[in-house]
Amino acid sequence: MELRRWQADVLLAISALLWGTTFVAVKEAVTELPAELIIAIRFLIGFLFLALVFGPACRKNRWNCLHTGIILGLILGVAYWYQTTGLRYTSPSASAFITGMNIVFVALIDSLLAKRFPSRKVLLGVATATAGLLILTWTSRFQARPGDLLTLFCAVLFGLHIVLTARWIKGCDPRIMTILQFGVVSALFWLVLPATWHPVTFTGRHLVILLLLGLFPTGIAFLFQTTAQKYTPPIHTAIILSAEPVFAALFSLARGTDTVSFRLICGGLLIVLGTYFSAAEEPVKADAKSVPGNSNIAGV
């Protein structure tokens, strides 16, 4: 099924909205459960859901994105570990705005892979978003909270993931690409879990939270993003996904998890402006030869 640009944009907007609602839920879960367990169950649910719905159709297609799916899955898994662990030590709104800085890293990574110096707009975006990050996260002792630093590493990896997905998705079935990544992430953290395990009380409320996270913001939203990236460049994707921290902050404030403050408003606004400046130019098209394991996949 072919999509028009506006249809792809709608899918991305839905993804941003769904992801914006997750920060409060993950914050509640990670204070009681290990991050590794949350990620393992969340992505297992997403994997089983998509495999059940799309498995028969996927078997008819070539698994020509196996190598790229594994690589993207590993990047995605590490990014989610940084984000989920970081939420234990920072607020949902701060986590959302810092995660939104992935757009800045999309622009920087795209420039790096295209072997060109970042434009003035990108540099302005980096400076503006960095100023917002300092206002939002630094304490009076000029020290960043550990959760904010972990989330910043997450934003770097999400930016890399968006750029690489855009370069590698053209020759792949988005359903297969998404299912592969979810399988890799889930398997990775089930393997890691015994080394980090400590006794916890797993309740029915935890199961409901993880079930909702696995089905909607993970399974559906991620499939929507991966599908949309076949029809829109990474910078355009990043612009629309910049709405995610705004949705997250509004949801967190409505739930009473965060309170309105000068630092939240000013820092968040500067980060959003920085991401807008960074996303102001279209990326250079990638060479298909840059795709590992499959030289037939056209880049973006």
Q: What pLDDT, on the 0 to 100 scale, is given for residue 79?
A: 98
Q: What pLDDT, on the 0 to 100 scale, is given for residue 45?
A: 97
Give me the tens of pLDDT residue by residue for the chain, a chain 300 residues long: 688 888 998 999 999 999 999 999 999 999 999 999 999 999 999 999 999 988 777 776 666 788 999 999 999 999 999 999 999 999 999 999 999 888 889 888 988 888 888 888 888 888 888 888 888 877 655 566 789 999 999 999 999 999 999 889 888 888 889 999 999 999 999 999 999 888 889 999 999 999 999 999 999 998 999 899 888 877 677 778 878 888 988 899 888 888 888 888 898 889 888 877 876 654 434 443 333 333 222 222
Q: What pLDDT, on the 0 to 100 scale, is given for residue 255?
A: 86
**Burial (CB count <10 Å: 0-12, 13-18, 19+), residue 31:** exposed
Percent helix, strand, coil in the chain, to 5, is 75, 0, 25
253: left (phi over 0), alpha (psi -120 to 50) or beta: alpha
Question: Which one, of 90, 73, 68, lies nearest residue 144 by Cα?
Answer: 90
Q: How far is CA 185 from CA 85, 179, 188, 190, 258, in A?
A: 15, 10, 5, 9, 30
Task: Provide the residue type at 152 as one letter.
Answer: L
Q: What pLDDT, on the 0 to 100 scale, is given for residue 143?
A: 65
Using CA atoms, how far apart are residues 278 and 100, in angstroms rounded to an integer? 12
Q: What pLDDT, on the 0 to 100 scale, is given for residue 1?
A: 64
What 3-state DSSP class applies to 231?
coil
